[in-house]
Structure 1
Amino acid sequence: MKIAFFGECMVELSGQPLRRTFGGDTLNTALYLARLGRSRQLSVSYATALGTDHISSDMLTAWQEEHIDTAMVRRLEHKLPGLYLVETEPSGERHFHYWRNDSAAKFYFATALSPLEEAIQHRQLDILCISGVSLAILAEEAKAILVTLLEQMKANGGRVVFDNNFRPQLWTAKQAQYWYQQALPYADLVIVSEEDDRRIWGDCDVLYRYPAFGCDEVVVTRGSQPCLVYTEMRSGNAVRSEVAAKVLDDTTDPSAVGDAFAAGYLAGRFSGGSATMAAELGHELAAIVIQHPGAIIPPEAMEDIL
């Protein structure tokens, strides 16, 4: 099964002394899914744009070492990846500072036909995954191109996954509403952060909103509370289940925890598991990731679930 993600990965600076790594919502999920997918016959690709600088080259090499197919990555001269700095207070509270206005990923669709567009035209993908951030970083014309690609995926018989990640630094709730309304009619599976849903829509009315868009499966994450899983929503008789999260004493760093849950859930579902089993795998991976600093944890920390 061939799964592609589109989005932005940035250079991350964090820790004392500062340590340079990388992260981004869709990249985090793609990377963790690639690790889980090697034993589950899942092939993961990442579509984004990077610069031609050595830091971009280092990022590309790191993804390839994680068995992510990078054939759909564009390299743009005179552009650089975005950058963010994480400051952590003694209390554990984190502050994020971003430098991404001219990020290479924003220009993925700005020149000739992109590798992602070509792959969809030639029916080379089974699943396309995007997030709210994937849309938010793009100019209006490029947003429209991405939505058209979702439509083409559906027309080709493929599936679309949408994660509602919302970053108020990138756009307003009203802007997000508009573009989510354009994208959601093509989404088969939606991963919803309850907190973000309330920020965008003012509530988290899953049983009304998502079936109205035609979505068939919705997973609602609620922090340390049990996640809610709804399947068969198009039938009008949705099946609802709750799957408890793991309760931990040590929560070192919540970076990428939601992304890790998404990867575990997708790995479970796309390898033929039930929604409940997939949510359990998502919680298990999230519980591992939250005990390590940074968005990307060492592969050996995941050995028990690979």
Structure 2
Amino acid sequence: MTTLFKSLSAPMRVALVGECMIELQRDSAGTITQAFGGDTLNTAVYLARLCQSTAISVDYVTALGQDPFSETMCQTWQAEGLGTQNVRHLPDALPGLYFIQTDEQGERQFLYWRGEAAARRCFDGHEAAQTLAALLDYDVIYLSGISLAVLNSEGRARLLETLAEARRQGTRIVFDNNYRPRLWPDRATAQHCYQALLALVDLALITWEDDVELFGFSSPEALFRTYAQSGVTEVVLKRGEASCLIHTGRQVLTIPGEKALRVIDTTAAGDSFSAAYLACRLQGGDPEQAARWGHRLAVNVIQHRGALISPPAMPAMPALSYSLAAQA
């Protein structure tokens, strides 16, 4: 199956919608380092790197302040090849902040300060009309459950309305579930918003544990049935070290992962998988090859500290065959 993005023309424009925060991380020696991170930002950076020599452009859409941290964020994104023309800058707001602690197994604990973060108001007010209108010009829009959760109710409703209009115009919608209960007032509200979005989604990249917690699925088969009923064309089920499962509408593919020599930090494992999967699909790869790209990047990311590995540490991806590229 290689038809999901077949009708999209080159050059292709991709927007990732979400929140980037100030990241603080303490290592085993007690040293604290500062960086920037967020689920969709991590995905955006890896996607831009993997599409660097193609006709695919990648933009990040969010709201920041007018402070030095916000300015440095944009400069960092631009250095990674991300477009920032649709980043809103709010004069009375700041980015959110989070602190990471990592145990000996590489598992993380997060502490957040994001209640007044600028990203919450990204689509609020009449000033957001320009940002929302700009989304209609993209070929692909990617967002996550966190992208929805951090928004105020007004902005969330306006974003969903815009995504519906974009999809009517031919835009493909890609969704990573990333369910975080603490960001929602209650489980029922989250379920309602997810179900509204899934009716618009073409490609879903799902972390199994998150959907079990949100929807209570008893098996992957039950999940696939529900997503198919919502109209999702392609569902990728991420299951950590276990094989990922891909439902294409006609069959379920099982793609084993790669083994890490040593797990240092699992931050952005799922985000990087999603980036590589999407990068491969946009460049003509089929779902099986895309999953192998996803596993390859994720297993490298978890062997480094932090969400974003350095560009020289990026692994080489399996080459796309001519036959696959020709079908896309």
TM-score by length of 1: 0.94
> Residues of 2 paired with 1:91 and 1:243: CA distance?
25
> Residues of 2 paired with 1:253 and 1:184: CA distance?
31
SS at match of 1:2: strand
SS at match of 1:129: strand
Q: Does 1:118 align with 2:133?
A: yes
Contact 1:73 1:115 in 2 (8 A): no
Report what 1:284 is aligned to: 296
Deviations 1:157-182 (CA, angstroms, capped at 9, x unpaired)? 11100111111220133221110111
> Residues of 1 paired with 2:168 and 2:105: CA distance?
50
Matches within 5 A, 1:29-44: 29-44=43-58
Amino acid at match of 2:285: G
Identity of aligned residues (%): 43
Report what 2:227 is aligned to: 210
Q: CA deviation at 1:115?
A: 4.0
Deviations 1:195-240 (CA, angstroms, capped at 9, x unpaired)? 0010100115222110111110000000000100111x2xxxx221
Residue correspondences, number: 299
Q: Does 1:229 align with 2:246?
A: yes
Deviations 1:241-263 (CA, angstroms, capped at 9, x unpaired)? 11111112301000000000000
Contact 1:220 1:228 in 2 (8 A): yes
Report what 2:180 is aligned to: 167
Q: Which runs of 5+ in 1 are unaligned?
A: none
Matches within 5 A, 1:6-21: 6-15=17-26, 16-21=30-35
> Residues of 2 paired with 1:182 and 1:303: CA distance?
37
Q: CA RMSD in A?
A: 1.4
Matches within 5 A, 1:1-306: 1-15=12-26, 16-90=30-104, 92-111=106-125, 112-120=127-135, 123-171=136-184, 172-203=186-217, 204=220, 205-231=222-248, 233=249, 238-302=250-314, 304-305=316-317
Q: CA deviation at 1:288?
A: 0.9
Q: CA deviation at 1:150?
A: 1.3
Q: CA deviation at 1:304?
A: 2.5
> Residues of 2 paired with 1:116 and 1:221: CA distance?
31
Contact 2:105 2:263 in 1 (8 A): no
Contact 2:14 2:56 in 1 (8 A): yes
SS at match of 2:226: helix
SS at match of 1:191: strand
SS at match of 1:263: helix
SS at match of 1:160: strand
Q: Which runs of 5+ in 2 are unaligned?
A: 1-11, 319-328
Contact 2:106 2:266 in 1 (8 A): no
Q: CA deviation at 1:17?
A: 1.1
